[in-house]
Amino acid sequence: MKAWPRQNLLQNDPPQQPITQVPKTPAICYVDVATLDTKQDFANLLTDIKLLAADVDLVRAEVQMDTDRIRASEEDILDIRQDVYVTKDTV
C-alpha cells in the first residue's frame, strides 16, 4: 500500500517518492450504504478492512449515509439498505 505525505496532498504537488509504510494511526473507512446489496458485499468490505488492519493499530468501519455517520453491524447495514429501497420506491 502506498500513501502520499499529507502536506503534498494539501498542496496538490506530487511528491518525489511515495511513503512505503503507512503510519500506525487509526484508519476510517467510509462506505456508501447504497453499494452494499448483499451479505457478500459486507463480507468483502470486512475483508478489505482486515487487509488494511495489517498496517494500522486500529481500524474503525463507519457507514456514511447522507450527512449522518452510523456505526453499524452487518444487520444494521442490511436494515438500512432495505430502508433505502423503500425510500426510493415511495418517492
Predicted confidence (pLDDT) at residue 47 exceeds the cutoff of 70: yes
Predicted confidence (pLDDT) at residue 29 exceeds the cutoff of 50: yes
Q: Average pLDDT of 22-27?
A: 54
Report how far residue 34's alpha carbon sits from residue 28's, in angstroms, rounded to the nearest whole number: 18
Report how far residue 43's alpha carbon sits from residue 49's, in angstroms, rounded to the nearest whole number: 10
Put simply, whether the predicted model's pTM sits higher than 0.75 gets the answer: no
